[in-house]
Structure 1
Protein backbone atom coordinates (compact mmCIF):
# COMPACT_ATOMS: atom_id res chain seq x y z
CA UNK A 1 0.00 0.00 0.00
CA UNK A 2 1.38 3.39 -1.02
CA UNK A 3 0.98 6.72 0.80
CA UNK A 4 -1.39 9.05 -1.04
CA UNK A 5 -0.70 12.72 -0.40
CA UNK A 6 -3.93 14.74 0.00
CA UNK A 7 -4.65 17.18 -2.79
CA UNK A 8 -7.35 19.19 -1.00
CA UNK A 9 -8.26 20.30 2.50
CA UNK A 10 -10.91 18.20 4.20
CA UNK A 11 -11.49 20.22 7.37
CA UNK A 12 -10.92 23.44 9.24
CA UNK A 13 -10.31 23.10 12.99
CA UNK A 14 -11.42 26.40 14.52
CA UNK A 15 -10.87 27.90 17.94
CA UNK A 16 -13.86 29.56 19.64
CA UNK A 17 -13.32 32.79 21.64
CA UNK A 18 -11.47 35.35 19.56
CA UNK A 19 -11.83 33.25 16.42
CA UNK A 20 -15.53 32.61 15.73
CA UNK A 21 -17.22 34.27 18.71
CA UNK A 22 -16.33 36.99 21.24
CA UNK A 23 -14.37 39.58 19.24
CA UNK A 24 -11.45 40.63 21.44
CA UNK A 25 -11.64 37.43 23.53
CA UNK A 26 -13.12 39.15 26.58
CA UNK A 27 -15.14 36.33 28.17
CA UNK A 28 -12.17 34.38 29.58
CA UNK A 29 -9.83 37.27 30.37
CA UNK A 30 -12.14 39.40 32.48
CA UNK A 31 -13.18 36.40 34.55
CA UNK A 32 -9.54 35.66 35.43
CA UNK A 33 -9.27 39.18 36.85
CA UNK A 34 -12.45 38.68 38.91
CA UNK A 35 -11.41 35.22 40.16
CA UNK A 36 -8.00 36.44 41.39
CA UNK A 37 -9.67 39.47 42.99
CA UNK A 38 -11.72 37.13 45.19
CA UNK A 39 -8.39 36.14 46.79
CA UNK A 40 -7.30 39.78 47.12
CA UNK A 41 -4.78 39.32 44.29
CA UNK A 42 -4.92 42.05 41.65
CA UNK A 43 -4.03 41.17 38.08
CA UNK A 44 -4.46 43.35 35.03
CA UNK A 45 -6.41 42.44 31.92
CA UNK A 46 -3.11 42.44 30.03
CA UNK A 47 -1.59 39.97 32.51
CA UNK A 48 -4.68 37.77 32.28
CA UNK A 49 -4.31 37.62 28.50
CA UNK A 50 -0.71 36.39 28.65
CA UNK A 51 -1.21 32.58 28.65
CA UNK A 52 -4.44 32.71 26.61
CA UNK A 53 -5.16 29.56 24.63
CA UNK A 54 -4.14 27.13 27.37
CA UNK A 55 -6.60 25.12 29.44
CA UNK A 56 -7.95 27.28 32.25
CA UNK A 57 -6.29 25.45 35.18
CA UNK A 58 -2.95 25.59 33.35
CA UNK A 59 -3.63 29.24 32.52
CA UNK A 60 -4.07 30.07 36.22
CA UNK A 61 -0.96 28.07 37.14
CA UNK A 62 1.04 30.01 34.54
CA UNK A 63 -0.29 33.32 35.87
CA UNK A 64 0.65 32.35 39.43
CA UNK A 65 4.17 31.52 38.23
CA UNK A 66 4.72 34.97 36.74
CA UNK A 67 7.13 36.84 39.05
CA UNK A 68 4.91 39.89 39.53
CA UNK A 69 1.87 37.78 40.43
CA UNK A 70 3.96 35.48 42.66
CA UNK A 71 5.21 38.56 44.51
CA UNK A 72 1.65 39.78 45.11
CA UNK A 73 0.69 36.32 46.35
CA UNK A 74 3.67 36.28 48.70
CA UNK A 75 2.73 39.71 50.02
CA UNK A 76 -0.86 38.58 50.67
CA UNK A 77 -0.29 35.04 52.01
CA UNK A 78 3.45 34.97 52.94
CA UNK A 79 4.06 31.88 50.80
CA UNK A 80 4.38 30.75 47.21
CA UNK A 81 1.18 29.77 45.36
CA UNK A 82 0.67 25.99 45.38
CA UNK A 83 -1.33 23.73 43.08
CA UNK A 84 -4.00 23.71 45.78
CA UNK A 85 -4.19 27.51 45.49
CA UNK A 86 -4.47 27.21 41.72
CA UNK A 87 -7.33 24.75 42.14
CA UNK A 88 -9.07 27.08 44.61
CA UNK A 89 -8.85 29.99 42.14
CA UNK A 90 -10.01 27.70 39.33
CA UNK A 91 -13.03 26.67 41.41
CA UNK A 92 -13.95 30.35 41.82
CA UNK A 93 -13.27 30.98 38.13
CA UNK A 94 -15.56 28.27 36.80
CA UNK A 95 -18.96 29.47 38.17
CA UNK A 96 -18.11 33.02 37.09
CA UNK A 97 -17.18 31.80 33.62
CA UNK A 98 -20.36 29.76 33.22
CA UNK A 99 -22.46 32.68 34.47
CA UNK A 100 -20.89 35.35 32.28
CA UNK A 101 -19.75 33.60 29.09
CA UNK A 102 -23.02 34.58 27.46
CA UNK A 103 -22.13 38.27 27.77
CA UNK A 104 -19.44 37.78 25.13
CA UNK A 105 -20.94 35.10 22.89
CA UNK A 106 -21.82 37.03 19.73
CA UNK A 107 -20.36 35.70 16.47
CA UNK A 108 -17.46 37.74 15.13
CA UNK A 109 -18.56 39.80 12.10
CA UNK A 110 -17.97 37.81 8.93
CA UNK A 111 -17.34 34.52 10.76
CA UNK A 112 -20.64 32.80 9.93
CA UNK A 113 -20.29 33.77 6.29
CA UNK A 114 -16.73 32.42 6.23
CA UNK A 115 -17.84 29.11 7.75
CA UNK A 116 -20.63 28.82 5.17
CA UNK A 117 -18.05 29.50 2.46
CA UNK A 118 -15.78 26.73 3.81
CA UNK A 119 -18.67 24.28 3.79
CA UNK A 120 -19.37 25.16 0.16
CA UNK A 121 -15.74 24.22 -0.53
CA UNK A 122 -16.46 20.81 0.99
CA UNK A 123 -14.71 21.29 4.35
CA UNK A 124 -15.92 19.83 7.63
CA UNK A 125 -15.78 22.15 10.65
CA UNK A 126 -14.09 20.87 13.79
CA UNK A 127 -13.53 23.01 16.86
CA UNK A 128 -11.54 23.10 20.08
CA UNK A 129 -11.15 25.53 22.96
CA UNK A 130 -9.32 26.26 26.18
CA UNK A 131 -12.74 26.12 27.86
CA UNK A 132 -13.66 22.95 29.81
CA UNK A 133 -16.71 20.94 28.76
CA UNK A 134 -19.10 22.51 31.27
CA UNK A 135 -18.44 25.96 29.79
CA UNK A 136 -18.38 24.70 26.21
CA UNK A 137 -21.89 23.31 26.60
CA UNK A 138 -23.19 26.83 27.15
CA UNK A 139 -20.96 28.36 24.46
CA UNK A 140 -22.16 25.78 21.92
CA UNK A 141 -25.80 26.36 22.85
CA UNK A 142 -25.48 30.13 22.44
CA UNK A 143 -23.59 29.73 19.16
CA UNK A 144 -26.29 27.42 17.77
CA UNK A 145 -28.94 30.02 18.58
CA UNK A 146 -26.86 32.52 16.60
CA UNK A 147 -26.53 30.18 13.61
CA UNK A 148 -23.18 28.45 14.19
CA UNK A 149 -23.18 24.65 14.44
CA UNK A 150 -19.79 23.00 13.82
CA UNK A 151 -19.48 19.30 13.10
CA UNK A 152 -17.50 18.52 16.24
CA UNK A 153 -16.39 20.16 19.49
CA UNK A 154 -13.50 19.18 21.77
CA UNK A 155 -13.16 20.87 25.16
CA UNK A 156 -9.81 21.09 26.93
CA UNK A 157 -10.78 18.61 29.66
CA UNK A 158 -11.83 15.95 27.13
CA UNK A 159 -8.21 15.11 26.29
CA UNK A 160 -5.27 14.05 28.49
CA UNK A 161 -3.32 17.24 27.76
CA UNK A 162 -4.53 20.62 26.54
CA UNK A 163 -2.93 23.09 24.16
CA UNK A 164 -0.19 23.54 23.00
CA UNK A 165 -0.43 19.74 22.88
CA UNK A 166 -1.96 18.49 19.59
CA UNK A 167 -4.52 16.31 21.41
CA UNK A 168 -7.63 18.42 20.79
CA UNK A 169 -6.86 18.95 17.12
CA UNK A 170 -6.16 15.25 16.66
CA UNK A 171 -9.37 14.32 18.50
CA UNK A 172 -11.21 16.28 15.80
CA UNK A 173 -9.35 14.34 13.08
CA UNK A 174 -10.52 11.05 14.58
CA UNK A 175 -14.11 12.16 15.24
CA UNK A 176 -14.56 13.65 11.77
CA UNK A 177 -13.10 10.60 10.04
CA UNK A 178 -10.43 12.58 8.20
CA UNK A 179 -7.80 10.87 6.07
CA UNK A 180 -4.69 12.94 6.78
CA UNK A 181 -3.63 15.70 9.16
CA UNK A 182 -2.13 17.50 6.16
CA UNK A 183 -5.69 17.89 4.87
CA UNK A 184 -6.58 20.06 7.89
CA UNK A 185 -6.08 23.72 8.67
CA UNK A 186 -6.00 24.90 12.30
CA UNK A 187 -7.17 28.49 12.86
CA UNK A 188 -6.53 30.31 16.15
CA UNK A 189 -5.85 33.70 17.71
CA UNK A 190 -3.27 32.46 20.26
CA UNK A 191 0.23 31.00 20.18
CA UNK A 192 -0.77 27.79 22.03
CA UNK A 193 -3.49 27.24 19.44
CA UNK A 194 -1.07 27.67 16.54
CA UNK A 195 1.47 25.37 18.23
CA UNK A 196 -1.33 22.85 18.68
CA UNK A 197 -1.92 22.83 14.93
CA UNK A 198 1.79 22.75 14.14
CA UNK A 199 2.34 19.80 16.50
CA UNK A 200 -0.62 18.01 14.92
CA UNK A 201 0.99 18.32 11.47
CA UNK A 202 -1.68 20.67 10.12
CA UNK A 203 -1.66 23.89 8.16
CA UNK A 204 -2.02 26.82 10.55
CA UNK A 205 -3.59 30.26 10.25
CA UNK A 206 -3.15 32.92 12.94
CA UNK A 207 -5.71 35.69 13.46
CA UNK A 208 -4.35 39.15 14.19
CA UNK A 209 -7.25 41.37 15.17
CA UNK A 210 -10.26 39.41 16.43
CA UNK A 211 -8.62 37.84 19.43
CA UNK A 212 -6.25 38.05 22.30
CA UNK A 213 -3.27 39.98 20.91
CA UNK A 214 -5.23 43.07 19.92
CA UNK A 215 -7.79 42.71 22.72
CA UNK A 216 -10.19 45.37 21.47
CA UNK A 217 -13.94 45.27 20.94
CA UNK A 218 -15.32 45.28 17.39
CA UNK A 219 -16.30 48.95 17.76
CA UNK A 220 -12.84 49.90 19.03
CA UNK A 221 -11.21 47.94 16.21
CA UNK A 222 -13.40 49.65 13.60
CA UNK A 223 -12.39 53.05 14.97
CA UNK A 224 -8.64 52.45 14.64
CA UNK A 225 -6.95 54.74 12.10
CA UNK A 226 -5.03 53.12 9.23
CA UNK A 227 -1.64 54.06 10.70
CA UNK A 228 -2.44 52.39 14.02
CA UNK A 229 -3.78 49.31 12.23
CA UNK A 230 -0.56 48.98 10.27
CA UNK A 231 1.50 49.27 13.46
CA UNK A 232 -0.65 46.68 15.25
CA UNK A 233 -0.39 44.31 12.30
CA UNK A 234 3.42 44.51 12.46
CA UNK A 235 3.46 44.10 16.26
CA UNK A 236 1.14 41.08 16.28
CA UNK A 237 2.94 39.38 13.39
CA UNK A 238 6.11 39.59 15.47
CA UNK A 239 4.35 38.08 18.49
CA UNK A 240 3.24 35.09 16.40
CA UNK A 241 6.65 34.61 14.79
CA UNK A 242 7.98 31.94 17.18
CA UNK A 243 4.89 29.74 16.75
CA UNK A 244 5.44 29.79 12.95
CA UNK A 245 1.92 30.00 11.52
CA UNK A 246 1.77 29.26 7.80
CA UNK A 247 -0.52 32.26 7.24
CA UNK A 248 -1.57 35.38 9.15
CA UNK A 249 -4.90 37.07 8.44
CA UNK A 250 -6.90 39.78 10.16
CA UNK A 251 -10.10 37.86 11.00
CA UNK A 252 -11.86 34.63 10.04
CA UNK A 253 -13.61 36.52 7.23
CA UNK A 254 -10.28 36.41 5.36
CA UNK A 255 -9.93 32.61 5.55
CA UNK A 256 -11.62 31.34 2.32
CA UNK A 257 -8.89 32.68 -0.03
CA UNK A 258 -6.27 31.05 2.22
CA UNK A 259 -8.08 27.74 1.86
CA UNK A 260 -7.83 28.12 -1.92
CA UNK A 261 -4.11 28.88 -1.61
CA UNK A 262 -3.53 25.81 0.57
CA UNK A 263 -5.44 23.62 -1.87
CA UNK A 264 -3.15 24.83 -4.64
CA UNK A 265 -0.09 23.97 -2.55
CA UNK A 266 -1.48 20.52 -1.70
CA UNK A 267 -2.15 19.89 -5.39
CA UNK A 268 1.54 20.67 -6.05
CA UNK A 269 2.55 18.06 -3.47
CA UNK A 270 3.47 20.48 -0.67
CA UNK A 271 2.80 19.55 2.96
CA UNK A 272 2.46 21.68 6.13
CA UNK A 273 5.28 19.79 7.84
CA UNK A 274 7.72 20.85 5.16
CA UNK A 275 7.32 24.61 5.60
Structure 2
Protein backbone atom coordinates (compact mmCIF):
# COMPACT_ATOMS: atom_id res chain seq x y z
CA UNK A 1 0.00 0.00 0.00
CA UNK A 2 1.56 3.30 -1.07
CA UNK A 3 1.11 6.81 0.26
CA UNK A 4 -1.23 9.01 -1.75
CA UNK A 5 -1.35 12.75 -1.19
CA UNK A 6 -4.79 14.20 -0.43
CA UNK A 7 -6.37 16.04 -3.33
CA UNK A 8 -8.89 18.02 -1.31
CA UNK A 9 -9.42 19.29 2.21
CA UNK A 10 -11.26 17.27 4.84
CA UNK A 11 -11.38 19.58 7.87
CA UNK A 12 -10.93 23.09 9.17
CA UNK A 13 -9.61 23.57 12.72
CA UNK A 14 -10.93 26.88 14.03
CA UNK A 15 -9.82 28.93 16.98
CA UNK A 16 -12.55 30.55 19.08
CA UNK A 17 -12.04 34.10 20.46
CA UNK A 18 -11.10 36.48 17.67
CA UNK A 19 -11.81 33.84 15.03
CA UNK A 20 -15.44 32.74 15.36
CA UNK A 21 -16.62 34.64 18.45
CA UNK A 22 -15.63 37.86 20.26
CA UNK A 23 -14.51 40.24 17.50
CA UNK A 24 -11.35 41.91 18.79
CA UNK A 25 -10.68 39.09 21.31
CA UNK A 26 -11.68 41.15 24.33
CA UNK A 27 -12.89 38.40 26.68
CA UNK A 28 -9.48 36.93 27.55
CA UNK A 29 -7.37 40.08 27.28
CA UNK A 30 -9.50 42.33 29.49
CA UNK A 31 -9.71 39.67 32.19
CA UNK A 32 -5.92 39.43 32.39
CA UNK A 33 -5.85 43.15 33.14
CA UNK A 34 -8.50 42.74 35.86
CA UNK A 35 -6.85 39.68 37.42
CA UNK A 36 -3.49 41.43 37.80
CA UNK A 37 -5.20 44.55 39.10
CA UNK A 38 -6.75 42.54 41.93
CA UNK A 39 -3.19 41.84 43.06
CA UNK A 40 -2.34 45.53 42.87
CA UNK A 41 -0.28 45.19 39.70
CA UNK A 42 -1.18 47.21 36.61
CA UNK A 43 -0.95 45.48 33.22
CA UNK A 44 -2.12 47.31 30.12
CA UNK A 45 -4.51 45.82 27.58
CA UNK A 46 -1.75 46.04 24.99
CA UNK A 47 0.66 44.13 27.24
CA UNK A 48 -1.96 41.49 27.98
CA UNK A 49 -2.44 40.87 24.26
CA UNK A 50 1.23 39.99 23.63
CA UNK A 51 1.19 36.22 24.41
CA UNK A 52 -2.40 35.69 23.25
CA UNK A 53 -3.04 32.20 21.89
CA UNK A 54 -1.12 30.38 24.63
CA UNK A 55 -2.82 28.45 27.40
CA UNK A 56 -3.87 30.88 30.11
CA UNK A 57 -1.39 29.78 32.81
CA UNK A 58 1.43 30.00 30.27
CA UNK A 59 0.08 33.36 29.16
CA UNK A 60 0.27 34.71 32.71
CA UNK A 61 3.76 33.22 33.20
CA UNK A 62 4.89 34.96 29.99
CA UNK A 63 3.44 38.27 31.16
CA UNK A 64 5.21 37.89 34.49
CA UNK A 65 8.49 37.32 32.64
CA UNK A 66 8.25 40.73 30.98
CA UNK A 67 10.83 42.83 32.87
CA UNK A 68 8.52 45.84 33.31
CA UNK A 69 5.69 43.72 34.72
CA UNK A 70 8.07 41.72 36.90
CA UNK A 71 9.38 45.00 38.32
CA UNK A 72 5.86 46.24 39.11
CA UNK A 73 5.21 42.96 40.91
CA UNK A 74 8.51 43.26 42.82
CA UNK A 75 7.63 46.82 43.85
CA UNK A 76 4.36 45.52 45.29
CA UNK A 77 5.47 42.24 46.90
CA UNK A 78 9.26 42.54 47.25
CA UNK A 79 9.99 39.70 44.82
CA UNK A 80 9.60 38.84 41.17
CA UNK A 81 6.65 36.51 40.51
CA UNK A 82 7.27 32.81 41.12
CA UNK A 83 5.29 29.95 39.57
CA UNK A 84 3.21 29.88 42.75
CA UNK A 85 2.41 33.56 42.23
CA UNK A 86 1.46 32.82 38.63
CA UNK A 87 -0.88 30.08 39.88
CA UNK A 88 -2.46 32.51 42.35
CA UNK A 89 -3.15 35.00 39.52
CA UNK A 90 -4.45 32.18 37.32
CA UNK A 91 -6.80 31.03 40.08
CA UNK A 92 -8.24 34.54 40.26
CA UNK A 93 -8.35 34.84 36.47
CA UNK A 94 -10.46 31.72 36.06
CA UNK A 95 -13.63 32.73 37.97
CA UNK A 96 -13.45 36.22 36.46
CA UNK A 97 -13.24 34.67 33.00
CA UNK A 98 -16.19 32.35 33.58
CA UNK A 99 -18.22 35.17 35.11
CA UNK A 100 -17.69 37.58 32.21
CA UNK A 101 -17.32 35.32 29.17
CA UNK A 102 -20.91 35.98 28.07
CA UNK A 103 -20.19 39.69 27.67
CA UNK A 104 -18.01 38.94 24.65
CA UNK A 105 -19.74 35.83 23.27
CA UNK A 106 -21.26 37.23 20.07
CA UNK A 107 -20.41 35.45 16.83
CA UNK A 108 -18.18 37.35 14.44
CA UNK A 109 -20.20 38.75 11.50
CA UNK A 110 -20.13 36.35 8.58
CA UNK A 111 -18.92 33.39 10.65
CA UNK A 112 -22.07 31.28 10.44
CA UNK A 113 -22.41 31.80 6.69
CA UNK A 114 -18.75 30.95 6.12
CA UNK A 115 -18.95 27.79 8.23
CA UNK A 116 -22.13 26.75 6.42
CA UNK A 117 -20.30 27.09 3.11
CA UNK A 118 -17.42 24.98 4.44
CA UNK A 119 -19.79 22.24 5.53
CA UNK A 120 -21.34 22.41 2.07
CA UNK A 121 -17.91 21.61 0.65
CA UNK A 122 -17.82 18.49 2.82
CA UNK A 123 -15.43 19.79 5.49
CA UNK A 124 -15.63 18.82 9.14
CA UNK A 125 -15.31 21.60 11.72
CA UNK A 126 -12.84 21.04 14.52
CA UNK A 127 -11.95 23.65 17.12
CA UNK A 128 -9.40 24.45 19.80
CA UNK A 129 -8.61 27.33 22.12
CA UNK A 130 -6.24 28.70 24.72
CA UNK A 131 -9.15 28.45 27.16
CA UNK A 132 -9.21 25.56 29.67
CA UNK A 133 -12.17 23.18 29.52
CA UNK A 134 -14.16 24.81 32.32
CA UNK A 135 -14.23 28.04 30.27
CA UNK A 136 -14.63 26.29 26.93
CA UNK A 137 -17.76 24.52 28.15
CA UNK A 138 -19.37 27.92 28.74
CA UNK A 139 -18.11 29.33 25.43
CA UNK A 140 -19.47 26.31 23.54
CA UNK A 141 -22.82 26.58 25.33
CA UNK A 142 -23.18 30.26 24.43
CA UNK A 143 -22.10 29.67 20.83
CA UNK A 144 -24.66 26.88 20.47
CA UNK A 145 -27.41 29.27 21.49
CA UNK A 146 -26.24 31.51 18.66
CA UNK A 147 -26.32 28.69 16.12
CA UNK A 148 -22.70 27.54 16.06
CA UNK A 149 -22.09 23.87 16.90
CA UNK A 150 -18.71 22.51 15.73
CA UNK A 151 -17.95 18.82 15.30
CA UNK A 152 -15.26 18.72 17.97
CA UNK A 153 -13.70 20.92 20.67
CA UNK A 154 -10.30 20.60 22.35
CA UNK A 155 -9.44 22.84 25.30
CA UNK A 156 -5.85 23.67 26.19
CA UNK A 157 -5.84 21.57 29.37
CA UNK A 158 -7.06 18.46 27.53
CA UNK A 159 -3.64 17.87 25.95
CA UNK A 160 -0.11 17.58 27.41
CA UNK A 161 1.08 20.81 25.77
CA UNK A 162 -0.95 23.74 24.49
CA UNK A 163 0.00 26.17 21.75
CA UNK A 164 2.35 26.64 20.02
CA UNK A 165 2.67 22.84 20.26
CA UNK A 166 0.52 20.91 17.73
CA UNK A 167 -1.32 18.67 20.21
CA UNK A 168 -4.74 20.37 20.10
CA UNK A 169 -4.93 20.37 16.32
CA UNK A 170 -3.73 16.77 16.17
CA UNK A 171 -6.31 15.74 18.75
CA UNK A 172 -8.94 17.14 16.39
CA UNK A 173 -7.46 15.12 13.53
CA UNK A 174 -7.82 11.94 15.58
CA UNK A 175 -11.33 12.69 16.82
CA UNK A 176 -12.63 13.70 13.41
CA UNK A 177 -11.14 10.69 11.64
CA UNK A 178 -9.04 12.73 9.21
CA UNK A 179 -6.75 10.66 7.02
CA UNK A 180 -3.95 13.20 6.49
CA UNK A 181 -2.90 16.38 8.29
CA UNK A 182 -2.25 17.94 4.89
CA UNK A 183 -6.00 17.82 4.32
CA UNK A 184 -6.56 20.20 7.23
CA UNK A 185 -6.51 23.98 7.63
CA UNK A 186 -5.77 25.71 10.94
CA UNK A 187 -7.39 29.16 11.24
CA UNK A 188 -6.32 31.50 14.05
CA UNK A 189 -5.88 35.16 14.99
CA UNK A 190 -2.63 34.62 16.97
CA UNK A 191 0.91 33.61 16.10
CA UNK A 192 0.97 30.70 18.61
CA UNK A 193 -2.14 29.33 16.88
CA UNK A 194 -0.49 29.58 13.48
CA UNK A 195 2.65 27.88 14.78
CA UNK A 196 0.38 25.16 16.17
CA UNK A 197 -1.04 24.52 12.72
CA UNK A 198 2.35 24.70 11.03
CA UNK A 199 3.83 22.27 13.55
CA UNK A 200 0.92 19.91 12.91
CA UNK A 201 1.69 19.89 9.17
CA UNK A 202 -1.48 21.76 8.18
CA UNK A 203 -2.34 24.65 5.93
CA UNK A 204 -2.64 27.82 8.00
CA UNK A 205 -4.76 30.96 7.71
CA UNK A 206 -4.04 33.99 9.88
CA UNK A 207 -6.86 36.46 10.62
CA UNK A 208 -5.53 40.00 10.67
CA UNK A 209 -8.53 42.12 11.68
CA UNK A 210 -11.05 40.13 13.73
CA UNK A 211 -8.83 39.21 16.62
CA UNK A 212 -6.04 40.01 18.98
CA UNK A 213 -3.62 41.71 16.60
CA UNK A 214 -5.92 44.57 15.61
CA UNK A 215 -7.77 44.54 18.93
CA UNK A 216 -10.74 46.63 17.80
CA UNK A 217 -14.47 46.05 18.01
CA UNK A 218 -16.31 45.24 14.79
CA UNK A 219 -17.72 48.78 14.67
CA UNK A 220 -14.27 50.32 15.16
CA UNK A 221 -12.85 48.05 12.44
CA UNK A 222 -15.58 49.01 9.98
CA UNK A 223 -15.03 52.70 10.73
CA UNK A 224 -11.30 52.65 9.94
CA UNK A 225 -10.51 54.54 6.77
CA UNK A 226 -8.89 52.56 3.96
CA UNK A 227 -5.42 54.07 4.40
CA UNK A 228 -5.33 53.36 8.14
CA UNK A 229 -6.66 49.83 7.61
CA UNK A 230 -3.94 49.10 5.07
CA UNK A 231 -1.31 50.35 7.53
CA UNK A 232 -2.72 48.04 10.18
CA UNK A 233 -2.66 45.08 7.80
CA UNK A 234 1.02 45.72 7.09
CA UNK A 235 1.80 46.00 10.82
CA UNK A 236 -0.10 42.83 11.65
CA UNK A 237 1.45 40.86 8.78
CA UNK A 238 4.84 41.52 10.39
CA UNK A 239 3.57 40.08 13.69
CA UNK A 240 2.68 36.86 11.86
CA UNK A 241 5.75 36.82 9.63
CA UNK A 242 7.90 34.41 11.66
CA UNK A 243 5.04 31.92 12.12
CA UNK A 244 4.73 31.70 8.31
CA UNK A 245 0.97 31.48 7.68
CA UNK A 246 0.05 30.33 4.19
CA UNK A 247 -2.69 32.98 3.96
CA UNK A 248 -3.64 36.23 5.67
CA UNK A 249 -7.24 37.46 5.51
CA UNK A 250 -9.24 40.03 7.46
CA UNK A 251 -11.93 37.77 8.95
CA UNK A 252 -13.43 34.30 8.72
CA UNK A 253 -15.97 35.66 6.21
CA UNK A 254 -13.21 35.42 3.57
CA UNK A 255 -12.28 31.82 4.43
CA UNK A 256 -14.42 29.95 1.83
CA UNK A 257 -12.45 31.54 -1.04
CA UNK A 258 -9.19 30.45 0.63
CA UNK A 259 -10.52 26.90 0.95
CA UNK A 260 -11.21 26.83 -2.78
CA UNK A 261 -7.66 28.00 -3.48
CA UNK A 262 -6.13 25.36 -1.19
CA UNK A 263 -8.22 22.63 -2.83
CA UNK A 264 -6.90 23.81 -6.20
CA UNK A 265 -3.33 23.62 -4.92
CA UNK A 266 -3.85 20.16 -3.42
CA UNK A 267 -5.26 18.95 -6.74
CA UNK A 268 -2.01 20.10 -8.38
CA UNK A 269 0.04 18.12 -5.87
CA UNK A 270 1.08 20.99 -3.58
CA UNK A 271 1.48 20.29 0.12
CA UNK A 272 1.48 22.70 3.08
CA UNK A 273 4.94 21.63 4.22
CA UNK A 274 6.41 22.79 0.91
CA UNK A 275 5.35 26.43 1.11
TM-score of Structure 1 vs Structure 2, range by shorter chain: over 0.9
Question: Secondary structure at 1:205's aligned position in 2?
Answer: strand
Between the two proteins, the alignment pairs up a number of residues equal to: 275
- Partner residue, 1:186: 186
C-alpha distance in 2, partners of 1:223/1:180? 41
Q: Does 1:253 align with 2:253?
A: yes
C-alpha distance in 1, partners of 2:36/2:191? 23
Question: Secondary structure at 2:13's aligned position in 1?
Answer: strand
- Partner residue, 2:62: 62
- Partner residue, 2:82: 82
C-alpha distance in 1, partners of 2:239/2:95? 32
Deviations 1:97-139 (A, max 9, x none): 0000000000000011000000000000000000000000000
Which runs of 5 or more residues in structure 2 are unaligned? none
Deviations 1:149-181 (A, max 9, x none): 000000000000000000000000000000000
Q: Does 1:9 align with 2:9?
A: yes
- Partner residue, 1:211: 211
- Partner residue, 1:140: 140
Question: Secondary structure at 1:12's aligned position in 2?
Answer: strand
Instruction: Report the alpha carbon displacement of residue 78 of structure 1 after superposing the two structures with TM.
Output: 1.0
* Moved segments of 4+, more than 4 Å: none
Give the alignment of 1:147-186 within 5 angstroms: 147-186=147-186
- Partner residue, 1:273: 273
Superposition RMSD on alpha carbons, in Å? Answer: 0.4
C-alpha distance in 2, partners of 1:33/1:250? 26
C-alpha distance in 2, partners of 1:4/1:99? 48
- Partner residue, 2:34: 34
C-alpha distance in 1, partners of 2:4/2:272? 15
- Partner residue, 1:126: 126
Instruction: Report the alpha carbon displacement of residue 238 of structure 1 after superposing the two structures with TM.
Output: 1.1
Instruction: Report the alpha carbon displacement of residue 80 of structure 1 after superposing the two structures with TM.
Output: 1.4
C-alpha distance in 2, partners of 1:269/1:40? 56
- Partner residue, 2:221: 221
C-alpha distance in 2, partners of 1:20/1:115? 9
Deviations 1:69-102 (A, max 9, x none): 0110111111111000000000000000000000
Q: What TM-score do you get using the length of structure 1 for normalisation? A: 1.00
